[in-house]
Amino acid sequence: MSTAEASEPGVRSKSNSPRQIPVVGVVTEDEDAQGALKPMDLNRVIKLLEETDKDDLEEKQLKAVKILVQYYQNGFPLRDLAQIFKILNLCAGKIGQQPHFIESAYSILKLCGLPFLKKKVSDEITYAEDTANSIALLGDLMKVPSSELRIQICKCIVDFYHAEPPKKHITGYQQASSSYKIQMAEVGGLAKTMVQSLALLDNQLVEKLWVLKALQHLSTSEANCTLMMQAQAASSICAHLNDPDPSGQLLFRSSEILWNLLEKSSKEEIIQQLSNLECLLALKEIFKNLFMRGFRHYDRQLRNDILVITTIIAQNPEAPMILLIDGKVVLALFTYVKKPEKHKIIEWSAAQYEELQLHAIATLSSVAPLLIEEYMLCQGNARILAFLEWCESEDSFFSHGNSFHGTGGRGNKFAHMRYTLRLLRAMVYLQDETVNNDLCEKGTIQQLIGIFKNTISKSNDKEEAIVLEIQSDILLILSGLCEHNIPRKEIFGTEGVDVILHVLKTDPKKFQSGLGYIVLLFSTLDSIWCCILGCYPSEDYFLEKEGIFLLLDLLALNQKKFCNLILGIMVEFCDNPKTTVHVNSWRGKKDQTAASLLIKLWRKEEKELGVKRDKHGKIIDTKKPLFTSFQEEQNIMPLPADCPTVAVMDVAENIRAKIYAVLGKLDFENLPGLSAEDFVTLCIIHRYLDFKIGEIWNEIYEEIKLEKLRPVTTDKNILEAITTASENIGKMVASLQSEMIESQARQDVQNEQRVYAKIQATHKQRDLANKSWENFLARTSNAKTLKKAKRLQEKAIESSRYNERPPNAIFHQTEIKGLNTTVPSGRVVTLESTPARLVGGPLADTDIALKKLPIRGGALQRVKTVKIVDEPKKNVLT
């Protein structure tokens, strides 16, 4: 077969020539100079390798593979990859009987490290399946008992992530994308078979290290980590952490793989794989060796990694951590929970000791809750409280804050306090009465309140985030201690209430800052519920300090994330008879009342739930007045008696029930500051319980029908009566709402008419004033008009008098003759003002006037002659 007649791989051309068909195509010197890559008959090579009945066959086979390697020395085309890997597999299969094939397989594997070549852009998609299957074959080849071959397979995989460009450019071909091999390795499941190959390498350290290096690269992707997890990679790698390795690479690479598995696959599944005695023993021995003998930064880093991995495993309650009891690990960790001092055996720098201290406390947070008896035997509560006292003290201490756990604690003790409070919170939330009683007897509640107050005065902007976390933890610990315990709530007392009020007065804008204010607010609301409610002196003090006003201010922010919790607190507070006055006295923006705010929240909640209402807020469906869109979509289905139905779950899943409870305790009939729209909504709220009961009975009736049960006549009549009564209540409420809407419409019309009447009267008065002014101008500018007006005035005066005089009556003349005015006149004239020059000014009647010269011919003046009489302080004019 000539070069011109060469066909695609796997297809042979017919020829009548009797000569033998050559294995490879012929490349001319010109083509070779241009770097052309002509097709090669790979099927011929495969058939040659499959033959077994010739004497000199091995030599021919080795020669054919050698030619193939030389031919593809610049990389394998994607279209030929399936056949090339089949050739590789045939060579590997012959190694057991014919060791010379190791070199052939090795040479092919070495070329696999080069980038694959594509002729068309679409080749990566076209040959994706062949490529994935070919790469997956690399994992299967790890079963071949050849150290040289296994190492080369691992090198080939590592080269996927550090690809080198081909030495020579091939005309018509281009390099496949750098991530193509990595993607195909994920698709082919190479990582899984490489993990499985570890079982073949128990006593072969060099090969194991190369496999771990390959797995370290493969574990950088989530897909590969998932495959490795399925192959139980975590347990198989962790169990051999303590294997002998002078180089130290085994521990380093293994810990790196474990970290990647924890971060990029199911954390819970990895923890489960590591929660066995073999893995924990290996981790313990490694940690002990690094702790006692490690002196380099590299050793400390590995030690910390192992410690954190152990801490993560401790989150699994099924992990056999009782190894920890035998080794007195809790006691060992508690040796670091104390004031820093010079170590007696090993000299640690301040930064190193701080890092150890923080790691120990963080580890105790996970371990101590699982070992309560050990914790109490070590006097854990006393140690923690003493350490907190040091954290709060003014002792000179400079924290370096270099480690992960030391973040935010540079130059202060906030990092120590944060992790100590986390440990204390973990112990309190176990709800173990032995632990909690011991804490309260040691004055924990008062100490924590004092710490909270000190953090308020010491914090600054740089430390704001860590201080907020500390304050949140303190409030959560106090909640855990005081919940369901009245004596502890009394210890919490007014000082604790002042702390809560301080948080409630926080600027609402800070709740959007993302620095932990929302968490602090939730912790504060939880503290109100657990530390104040139920203790009447604390409730009364909270009300005195306007705590309810602060809660309503928060509620008015209309933040859905904490509305439910605030309303729940208000429901409980309303059991206190003093609460009603405070709630009704509150006023928000635009003089909004608490009742109006609650009704507004109800409308908003129903809008979000998809409840059917008309534009006025009136009930549309009287049979299902409270139904949400979710309830409409859900079909009623029979459920066991202990399973809540959709109607019952609706009570807990939104705030309508709590709004109903609060308004009910405030008295529906006497709610101030409501608009007509509010009253329309209030009609529904008032009947919420009736509607909800009817809704649940309707569910019961529908379930009976679905289960094809036939109730007795009496029960059936009762069910129908309940359903009818519920619907009638809906109709009644809808009718009442209609009356309110119509009444409001009439009132609006009347108000509009009154406004128009007022406007009309204003315009009429203005016209009269204008007409009066025109008449006045006419009288002053026209003598005839003035005389006519005078005659009319006199006539009007005369007509108003009696026609006959009473006997013995004395007549007084009221007119002044000769006046040319048209206004009523008399003998007395009132002057509005007199010029100052005539009266001498406002001080004319005082002694100061004596110093002024009198104005001749003016008003009456005071003279200088003064006569002093017997009575003091009196002047007599002469």
Whether the pLDDT of residue 4 is over 60: the answer is: no
Residue type, 398: F
Three-state SS for 171? strand
Do 491 and 444 touch, CB atoms closer than 8 A? no
Residue with the bigger pLDDT between 458 and 731: it is 731
Q: What is the pLDDT of residue 857?
A: 41
Q: What is the pLDDT of residue 841?
A: 58
Do 378 and 334 touch, CB atoms closer than 8 A? yes
Q: What is the spatial distance between Cα 68 and Cα 65, in angstroms, rounded to a whole number?
A: 5
Residue with the bigger pLDDT between 334 and 320: it is 334
Q: What is the spatial distance between Cα 677 and Cα 141, in angstroms, rounded to a whole number?
A: 79
- Residues near 142 by Cβ (< 8 Å), separated by ≥ 6? 150, 153, 193, 194, 197, 200, 211
Q: What is the pLDDT of residue 27?
A: 39
Whether the pLDDT of residue 10 is over 80: the answer is: no
Element (H, E) at 658: helix 656-666
Give the pLDDT mean for 653-660: 93
What phi-psi label fits residue 825: left (phi over 0), alpha (psi between -120 and 50 degrees) or beta?
Answer: beta
Largest CA distance in the chain: 175
Residue type, 269: E
Q: What is the spatial distance between Cα 570 and Cα 579, in angstroms, rounded to a whole number?
A: 9
Highest mean pLDDT range out of 458-462, 495-499, 512-516? 495-499
Q: What is the pLDDT of residue 241?
A: 84
Do 407 and 401 touch, CB atoms closer than 8 A? yes
Q: What is the spatial distance between Cα 254 and Cα 213, in angstroms, rounded to a whole number?
A: 9
Q: What is the spatial distance between Cα 541 and Cα 582, in angstroms, rounded to a whole number?
A: 13
- Residues near 699 by Cβ (< 8 Å), separated by ≥ 6? 636, 645, 646, 647
* Six token digits for residue 620: 């549309």
> Percent of the chain scored above 90 by pLDDT?
32
* Six token digits for residue 631: 């309830």
Whether the pLDDT of residue 696 is over 50: the answer is: yes
Q: What is the spatial distance between Cα 382 and Cα 444, in angstroms, rounded to a whole number?
A: 10
Confidence of residue 20 (pLDDT cuts 50, 70, 90): very low
Nearest residue to 398 (alpha-carbon basis) of 458, 461, 349, 365 = 349
Whether the pLDDT of residue 120 is over 50: the answer is: yes
Three-state SS for 71? helix
pTM over 0.75: no
Whether the pLDDT of residue 476 is over 80: the answer is: yes
Whether the pLDDT of residue 861 is over 50: the answer is: no
Q: Which of 107-121, 353-367, 395-409, 682-696 has the lowest mean pLDDT?
A: 395-409
pLDDT digits (tens, 9 = 90+) for 428-451: 999 999 999 999 999 999 999 999
Whether the pLDDT of residue 22 is over 60: the answer is: no
| Residue 495 buriedness (CB in 10 A; 0-12 / 13-18 / 19+) | middle
Whether the pLDDT of residue 15 is over 50: the answer is: no
* Six token digits for residue 357: 């201290």
Q: What is the spatial distance between Cα 744 and Cα 738, in angstroms, rounded to a whole number?
A: 10
Confidence of residue 462 (pLDDT cuts 50, 70, 90): confident
pLDDT digits (tens, 9 = 90+) for 159-187: 888 877 666 677 778 888 878 888 888 88
Q: What is the spatial distance between Cα 444 and Cα 451, in angstroms, rounded to a whole number?
A: 10
pLDDT digits (tens, 9 = 90+) for 239-255: 888 888 888 888 888 88
Whether the pLDDT of residue 811 is over 80: the answer is: no
Find where tokens 């007195």 sit: 328
Q: What is the spatial distance between Cα 187 and Cα 193, in angstroms, rounded to a whole number?
A: 13
The separation between CA 684 and the C-alpha centre of its own chain, rounded to angstroms, equals 34
The single-letter DSSP state of residue 593 is B
Whether the pLDDT of residue 35 is over 50: the answer is: no
Confidence of residue 308 (pLDDT cuts 50, 70, 90): confident
Confidence of residue 568 (pLDDT cuts 50, 70, 90): very high
The single-letter DSSP state of residue 811 is P
Q: What is the spatial distance between Cα 229 and Cα 221, in angstroms, rounded to a whole number?
A: 12
Residue type, 748: D
CA angle, 471 then 475 then 477, to 5° = 115
Q: What is the pLDDT of residue 409?
A: 54
* Six token digits for residue 429: 């939330």
Mean pLDDT computed over every residue of the chain: 82
Sign of the torsion angle spanned by Cα atoms 42, 44, 47, 49: negative
Find where tokens 């139920």 sit: 534
pLDDT digits (tens, 9 = 90+) for 702-744: 888 888 888 899 988 999 899 899 899 999 999 999 999 998 8
Give the pLDDT mean for 737-759: 91
Do 190 and 157 touch, CB atoms closer than 8 A? yes
Residue type, 674: L
Confidence of residue 396 (pLDDT cuts 50, 70, 90): low
Expressed in percent and rounded to 5, the helix, strand and coil fractions of the chain are 65, 0, 35
